[in-house]
Chain A
Amino acid sequence: MNGKVVAIISGKGGVGKTTTAANLGIALATLGQKVVCIDTDIGLRNLDVVLGLENRIVYDLVDVVEGRCRLTQAMVRDRRYENLHLIPAAQTRDKSAVSASDMVRLCEELRSMADWIVIDSPAGIERGFRNAIAPADQVLVITNPEVSSLRDADRIIGLVEAEEKGPAQLIINRINPEMVKRGDMLSISDVIELLAIPLIGIVPEDETVLISTNSGQPVVLNEKSKAGLAFLNIGKRLLGEEVPWVSLNVKAGLLSRLGQLFSGET
């Protein structure tokens, strides 16, 4: 096995990195892939609770790096999917406990055990972010269609390029088709024009994301959820499948709505 390492980054906090990492991990697992998710947000652990695995943690990332346990001991197995594992972040330490070369070494070992290693990066552009992209083969940048998140995404895309990890691929999260139609939200084509990197996912704003996360059942498990379907499609695209863009239509015709969402024009 020669697993691929995907880092999920955003620059700004709160745009949906952890939600994306959790749902992408499960999406890939449902598609028959062996997946290991790693939470690199040391001190602000969250991927465990979004995945619904918070009660099963014994060891964490720092325990592995500092040699207190074997790698496999820190891998929490998901009961729903036996081919999905989580390496949680340490909660009582800080980012300096792990270095970029630790991450590269750890991922080298994981590549022989999994098809995909999904890294949830902390916000910011400091050490935690560097740790997340150091071992990455592919980098996914999450942004929301609003000014501060886009500005930070642009900055972090530049840093990924400087580290020769580019081109990063873009996930536009929490797009609201009604607002785009009214001209009160940047459209998908606006965002692509500004950031100028290839698109790999469009996730609509969707209440079911929060509802699912409340119960520790990521939304991708909900077949009726539009956001869930969008995450599943990102998983398929990572596997090289060509998936048509999800229609986010509410009332009007499918094609016209999708067109509006892309262009923002009515």
Chain B
Amino acid sequence: MTSFIGRILKKPPSSALQAKERLHLVLVHDRTDLSSEDLKKLKDRLIQAISDFVEIDADETEIQIQVEGREQTLIANIPLRSPRRRRK
């Protein structure tokens, strides 16, 4: 919320907000023991594995860790190629 308003007013984010955003990322990596490099590798392999079964849009594929309290969930958003595009 604060960051949204901050962006609209083009104010630089407060140092507290910077701390919060940095910590958010650090804590996710600490808790899961996954670096952003690992996450990228995971994404590439996921794309590879799924492509064996169905045609997917690799460029639009997103993978991220969602935090809910102290629980982390791996969220993958993998758009499938539409049948029309597949036929061309």
Task: Give chain A's interface residues, CB within 8 Å of chain B.
Answer: 146-147, 150-151, 154-155, 157-158, 161, 180, 182-187, 190, 193-194, 196-197, 264-265
Contact = CB atoms under 8 A, between A and B. Distances in A.
A190 B16 contact: yes
A155 B70 contact: no
Interface of B: 1-2, 14-17, 19-20, 22-24, 26-27, 30-31, 69-70
For the residues of A in contact with B, the DSSP-based class is helix
For the residues of B in contact with A, the DSSP-based class is helix
Given A161-B70, A265-B2, A151 B26 contact: yes
B27 A154 contact: yes
A197 B70 contact: yes
8 contacts: A151-B26, A183-B2, A183-B14, A183-B17, A184-B15, A184-B16, A190-B16, A194-B23
B27 A264 contact: no
Given A161-B70, A264-B2, A183 B16 contact: yes
B16 A187 contact: yes
A158 B30 CA distance: 10
Contacts of A154: 27, 30-31
Given A186-B19, A196-B70, 6 more contacts: A146-B19, A180-B16, A183-B15, A184-B14, A264-B2, A264-B16
A147 to B, nearest CB: 5
Contacts of A180: 16
Contacts of A151: 23, 26-27, 30
Contacts of A197: 70
Given A183-B14, A184-B15, A194 B27 contact: yes
A180 B17 CA distance: 11
The 5 nearest A-B residue pairs measured at CB: A183-B14, A196-B69, A196-B70, A184-B15, A183-B16
Nearest to A146: B19
Nearest to B70: A196
A159 to B, nearest CB: 11
Nearest to B26: A151
A265 B31 CA distance: 28
Contacts of A186: 16, 19-20
Contacts of A184: 14-16
A4 B69 CA distance: 27
A151 B1 CA distance: 23
